[in-house]
Amino acid sequence: MFVRKYLKRKIYMPYIKVFLISIVCMSILLIFIPMVITHIVPDNMRDDDKDNASYPYDKVDLPKTISVYRTESGSVDKLPFEEYIKGVVSCEMPSTFHSEALKAQAVAARTYSAAKVINSETYGNPSAHPSAPLCDSTHCQVFKTEKELRNIKGSEWMKDGYEKICDAVDDTKGKLLYYKGELVQQALFHSSSGGATENCEDVFTAAVPYLVSVESPYEDEATHQDEETSFTVSEFASLVRSAYPSTDFGNISSDNIKIISRSSGNRVDKIKVGSGALTGRQIREALGLSSANFTIDISGDTITFTSNGSGHGVGMSQYGADGMAKKGYSYKKILSHYYSGTEIY
Ligand SMILES: [Zn+2]
């Protein structure tokens, strides 16, 4: 009996050993591999993915369809909501941009549109287009239907560019930006900031907690960098006088045109013009400059404006988003950078 037991133990012992060693090895691998991966993957490429986390607030019910006022025909198109977002992203961001930038644009456009539709249910449609909550121009967001895009951009672009945009919209389907449990009302964006975005109150009237000035460091590929526009002093004077006829500028000369102050995003806040003063935004609009982020150089009778960036400078910089994406940042990181304190659900 003892001999049999001894023999049995001797036969099974090596198998038991191998089994135990395997268990130990597997445990080590399971514990250490994730630790190694977390240290290899750079921080900007990791997402705090909250998709599975429970959202503490009520989520917004996205509309299934959307009505869009077509500015050229004067008619109203009703189409599926996500299809509309694909048309907006196609018009608002080049398809050559990184897919993470396109996803960020899709979430921003979806949030902006959802807020407009939901608000219209309570307050009615905007007076500019009483028949629909959104129009297809820069007044709201530029939009074209799939058929219109095919006619304008051709079937090749539909195969690569449009497909890439559709993927970005589908990959973020239904996702919206929230701030402290409320749907973000103004997911504003612009082409490029020139290095830093603006506080909302420095460009528009009211402060918005998630539209605050942030650095936008990756805009190397942006257009409208160091853009020079020159006028004679008399050309400059006549442009500002005709744009702001009620302002008394007195005598405008090369000695009395001076930048007085700048905003935190480096745009011109106030500028002295003759005996009057204008905001940087007013000068930008009067002269047709790409940005209020400009410097002035006066030489003899010539006044040269050198501007950086394009657009109002508030919210997400599109070139900045593309630059971040190319540096490895995800769309969630891009959105939380440009819309401070927001969350995506
Ligand atoms: Zn509109």
The pLDDT value given to residue 2: 52
Distance from Cα 310 to the centre of ligand 1, integer Å: 21
Averaged over 82-100, what is the pLDDT? 98
Ligand 1 centre from 281 Cα, in Å?
A: 21
171 alpha carbon – ligand 1 mean position (Å) = 27
C-alpha 127 to ligand 1 mean position (Å): 9
Q: Find the 87 Cα to ligand 1 centroid distance in Å.
A: 15
What does each C-alpha distance from 126 to 48, 131, 186 come to in angstroms? 37, 8, 15
What share of the chain in percent tops pLDDT 70? 84
Q: Give distance in angstroms: CA of 271 to centre of ligand 1.
A: 31
pLDDT at 83: 98
Model confidence at 59, pLDDT cuts 50, 70, 90, reads confident
CA of 165 relative to ligand 1 center, distance in Å: 23
Burial 13-40 (b: 16+ CB within 10 A, else e): eeeeeeeeeeeeeeeeeeeeeeeeeeee
Whole-number Å distance, alpha carbon 129 to ligand 1 midpoint, is 7
What is the amino acid identity at position 276?
A: G
Distance 208 CA to ligand 1 centre (A): 21
pLDDT in tens, 274-310: 999 999 999 999 999 999 999 999 999 999 999 999 9
224 CA from centroid of ligand 1 (Å): 26
224-283 tens-digit pLDDT: 999 999 999 999 999 999 999 999 999 999 999 999 999 989 999 999 999 999 999 999
Q: pTM to 2 decimals?
A: 0.80
Give the SS3 label for residue 197. Answer: coil
CB 66 within 8 A of CB 82: no
pLDDT of 41 reads: 46
Alpha-carbon span 215 to 241, nearest angstrom = 35
What pLDDT score does 116 carry? 96
Q: Which residue has better confidence, 107 or 46?
A: 107
Band (43; pLDDT cuts 50, 70, 90)? low
Residue 20 confidence (pLDDT) above 80? no
Whether residue 32 is predicted with pLDDT greater than 60 in this model: the reply is no
pLDDT at 3 (0 to 100):
52
Higher pLDDT, 41 or 340: 340
Q: To the nearest whole number, what is the mean pLDDT of the chain?
A: 90
pLDDT of res. 38: 43
pLDDT given for residue 40 in this prediction: 46
Annotated domain spans of the chain: 2-40, 65-203+313-344, 227-307
pLDDT at 149 over 90: yes
User: What's the whole-number mean pLDDT along residues 314-343?
Assistant: 98
pLDDT at residue 67 above 90?
yes
Distance 338 CA to ligand 1 centre (A): 23
Is the pLDDT at 51 greater than 70, yes or no?
no
162 alpha carbon – ligand 1 mean position (Å): 24
Question: Distance from CA of residue 240 to its chain's centroid?
Answer: 32
pLDDT band at 47 (very low <50, low <70, confident <90, very high): low
Q: What is the pLDDT of residue 57?
A: 77
- What spacing in Å lies between the alpha carbon of 132 and ligand 1's midpoint? 9
**pLDDT-above-90 percentage for the chain:** 80
CA of 136 to the centre of ligand 1 (A): 7
Arithmetic mean of pLDDT, 169-177: 97
Q: Which of 171, 172, 144 is closest to 158 using CA atoms?
A: 144
CA 138 – ligand 1 centroid, Å: 7
Average pLDDT over residues 177-183: 95
Ligand 1 center to 173 CA (angstroms): 23
